[in-house]
Structure 1
């Protein structure tokens, strides 16, 4: 699902108070006025290697009336040498996955409507705990109120699982933790000359499913939470290709099923300002810096406040190569009883290279530091990977990748492990 601005989930989803939701809109709509901005956004030379359209290789949608639909089936085979992400007594396993996705979009000249549905089945060769079934559906709509104003709404539901080795993976060698998410949101945007103003509001709900260990049923309703968020953003294109913006946001989270005796409910705000730019095909992106403040209802939990930043830059020295640099700070929800929040700083780099029109290779590296609020505990993650995507015509795509992760904590009770994973996937467009 597309995310807004606050990252409070154990699966590293964005948190509404901390990361701006409007930067991409500003870059696309306020970078240059009028038709010049649309020309820049639609220019093949201004799009990164991964995002660039390839008309001779892209799947052809099925058209009916004012809609077009794309459907695909994916199969994946993966091998993980440390399936439970533990330091000792490592267990390896092979995983087989089969998934399907359907995406429908309107082709109207005004207004828009979209529907996305997907489902996936994963089975472990030797470890039944890795068996999962995921699914989701998302609705989106846009109402154009004249040429310069529009209102958008979205609604989404999904069943997902905490990734092994993530902050929310607390069962270690036990079953995977499943949860259901509900995402509702509305946005309004207005452009007046070089000025773009946007307001948004949303609701996120997480419900954690119980799991069994031997014959014991373990409920996880104490992790259920609801989060409300709202933000107001304004951007001004002071020169063609460069826009300055500022955003203020607010969020509130509640834990209706928490029986731990400690109230992890909180509310917070953030202010950010920065630049969105897309002057030429060489460099595009946005960068923001600001201040964040998250307060918890229980005085046992300290405030999380201080510097906030979010940046993403794409540099394409040639049409065949794109470098992507990212840096962001967010707040994660903590699954630990004595810790309410985790401040996480992530830095990443990625290189995409088009060897041939139908063959793209890539490499990535990420470094993440998590600081557990109210404690001296911190965790460092270093991850990297290599991969390739081979487009065999409009219908068939083969992908292969290999990755490694190293996690260390300065707390004896924290996570510490190394793991390597390789996978091959085949996608067929119907």
Structure 2
């Protein structure tokens, strides 16, 4: 077993650099399927989800060339196959973006159901509704999602989203880029990575207007050409380090960010008693006094992000008073609560509402990451706790955080990766 071992109770000081946005990268890389030429994509995070998507593109026939640790060149012009390999796609939630990209490129797609973190059903019905409105027949059976454009090419139309869905907004945008006519997405998601995908496509020759608002218009074009693009900084990675400082105390400069993207997180940390200073491309977070209670509800952007809910919960566990945390996006995001309780947290959950009674301190324990952001929250709790915390199932964390152990060590955390003898022996036998 590979795990993180954290000796907590130490404040954090120094500076940390933020990587490219996971949620943008996992859509922009599949979007390269739409481009007739070489895409140079920069500021790619070094995380397992990105590695999986690049492997899928190579399996489909793309030429992927690594320029340096954050830059790749992708040429999908030779791809003739719209069938995604099963084993790789099932390991990642964002594999559904391959459906929209392949439908846009070939007018057909065959993709296994997505994997990734389990927050309940996480249906893709809004995606399918959009594809069907644009003239695709979508069939989900036999362990595969098959989609075929009835006219051989997607056709522009108006798609109204029954609920705000980031994934569906981006997927419909992909399918519409090379479609015949104009597609209008109403009640669209406004997250920064939605805007980043639109900016990437536009830089390659697409015609997309309104990204970042609730109405996006995509005028279909005949082809996209190659070019260069740099992915935005990761809002959630930055927020996670902000929460870590709030939980442990100390002062850290979080560099290479877009402060506006962090305003929803900044506002809550300030309410809790942390000091946050916005700079041009950085934020400085300081916490010198005990946190105070607050209420948080997750909402689509520009509301407080659901991907920061477990991390802010770790902070609220250490705040004076009783806080109420309401999950406004997913049905099953509190699976980490039992792990927090092992560390001495006082949390009661009723449906989508968690009531958190702050405690004076958490205590180190052996805990297990059940998903990506819950794992990050356990790291924060371990950094703030007295004693030693051991976190298993760290593969979830490494899906979305680049070099988290190195970055935390660089700002004073006592954290290391430990491989138990049984796993080391198994690796040698293999």
TM-score range normalised by the length of the shorter chain:
under 0.3
Q: Taking structure 2 as the reference length, what is the TM-score of the superposition?
A: 0.24
Q: Which has a greater percent of strand?
A: 1
Q: Which has a greater percent of helix?
A: 2
Q: Taking structure 1 as the reference length, what is the TM-score of the superposition?
A: 0.24
